[in-house]
A and B are shown apart, each in its own frame.
Chain A
Amino acid sequence: MKPAPFRYHRARDTEGAARLLAELGDDAKVIAGGQSLVAMMNFRLARPRHLVDIGGLRALDHLGTDSTGALRIGALTTHHTVETAPARRLGPGFDVLRAAMGWIGHLPIRTRGTVGGSIAHADATAEWCLLAVALDAELHTHGPRGPRRIPAAEFFFGSYTNALDPDELLTEIVFPRPAPHAALTEFAERRGDFAIVSAVVDLDLAGTEVRGGRVALGGVAPVPVRVPEAEQVLATGGSFADCAAAAAAAVNPPDDANGSADYRRRLIGTLVRRACEEARAR
């Protein structure tokens, strides 16, 4: 379990990283925290000929709310930074993100793994991918053809594939508005494992009354998905149980060693309801 040989390049800044990626083409891979990539390289399931290390790009390590109330997270911000961020940088409107970090692996993974790395890796069960889709995040990139802003809904193509061009760098993740009544929950046989199913619910509350909300699921398709059928239930004053049932009925989850389609559907029912309740309590 030793990686195949590669050439190591250390980027000094975003421009330099982009230039390296443009020069090296398809054979290059960006490494940030490396918590997924290095494991895959050790198994030789990934074998890039060139590794571009962006770990030193301080400019991409930031977290804070801008004047519009949007939360801007630099791609190199670690899960641990989000988890431990003080309220002045990560306000109560984004508690859902802080709380969700506890589901990502374990502490030594969270200290190195980055928000941008997780989203660029595009694992269908990854918490950040799900949060981005659920909360309408915008993904900012930098490449030779200039910067792009890609809505999360259009970013994920399939398992481990996304809208990033090979020479393009994910620089920032922007959550456009607070989600004070949102929650992520998931289930795996062991805590810290990749979820069999994960769910995010973001409620629109007026007082305690539910006016509507967003429901998104991970582990049920090659990419995280919004579930309009379940959101419809929330918008029309249906119960959390009905919302959960609608979510379970709406998707066609995979059948594999981690769980049958039927079991996944039942988990969706449990988790969506649980996420609804946690979201309302937040």
Chain B
Amino acid sequence: MTETPIDPAIDPAAERQLLALDVNGTAYEVLCESRRTLVDVLRHDLRLTGTHVGCEHGICGACTVLVDGRPARACLMFAAQAEGARIRTVESLSGDDDGRQLSDLQQAFRDHHGLQCGFCTPGFLMLAEGFLAERPDADRAEIRELVAANLCRCTGYQSIVDAIESCATARRAKEATEATATDETPEAAEATGEER
């Protein structure tokens, strides 16, 4: 390692690029070295520190974000590769403007003690958010397989699986109720109401 000096022809400072990134629906412009990974740009250039870094080689998943709606490792992408994509981070999950109101998924993690130290949590949240959008019907075995994508050292995973499963179940129930509600005529809805 000591025998390979930095190539003087590639001065990192001279390799800076102006990037246009779409993160959580906001357009950002970032001037950075081309070698900066997406996760470093999110955290240190955009100061969106909710996304964490755990291994920088794609195994632990603490840096998982959504790229065009799908979970991806932000440590295995250079920021330059993210131009033109819609990036979502944990900061976007909450429904309200100041980002403090918990979404149903976040609330499920809280209800099921799906986090202890909380370091891996944003990665798991984004993993589940992307997955459930595509697979709202997933069963527990499939959720467990999904959860195996990321590492957690605190929980033993069971409560994370519980949280995601309960969120999926609740979403399905809500959807079923809404579907029933829209199917019914106002009169029918009233009638049902009286029966209750």
Contacts and interface: CB of A to CB of B under 8 A. Distances in A.
Given A6-B35, A38-B37, A108 B11 contact: no
Interface in B31-51: 33-35, 37, 40
Interface in A97-154: 105-109, 111-112
B72 A38 contact: no
Contacts of B17: 8
A39 B35 contact: no
Interface string B121-132: 000000100110
B77 A107 contact: no
Given A1-B56, A38-B78, A53-B80, A108 B127 contact: yes
Nearest to B73: A108
Interface stretch (B22-30, B63-71, B91-99): B63-71
Interface string A76-114: 000010001000000000000000000001111101100
Interface in B1-33: 1, 4, 6-7, 9-12, 15, 17, 33
Interface string A4-41: 11111010000000000000000000010011001101
Given A7-B10, A8-B15, A192-B149, A42 B4 contact: no
A42 B7 contact: no
A109 to B, nearest CB: 6
Interface centre among A39, A51, A107 (most CB of B within 10 A): A107
Interface centre among A10, A51, A53, A108 (most CB of B within 10 A): A108
Given A7-B10, A55-B81, A80-B70, A39 B57 contact: yes
Nearest to A37: B76
A40 B80 CA distance: 18
Interface in B81-138: 81, 84, 127, 130-131, 134
A56 interface: yes
Given A5-B12, A49-B7, A108-B127, A39 B76 contact: yes
A34 B35 contact: no
Contacts of B33: 5
B44 to A, nearest CB: 12
B164 interface: no
Chain B residues touching A, range: 35 or more
Given A3-B37, A106-B150, 12 more contacts: A4-B6, A10-B80, A31-B81, A38-B58, A39-B56, A51-B34, A51-B78, A56-B84, A106-B146, A109-B58, A111-B67, A191-B148
27 contacts: A1-B56, A1-B57, A3-B35, A5-B6, A5-B15, A6-B15, A6-B34, A7-B10, A7-B15, A8-B17, A10-B80, A34-B77, A35-B76, A42-B56, A49-B7, A51-B78, A56-B84, A105-B149, A106-B149, A106-B150, A107-B71, A108-B61, A108-B127, A108-B149, A109-B73, A111-B72, A191-B148
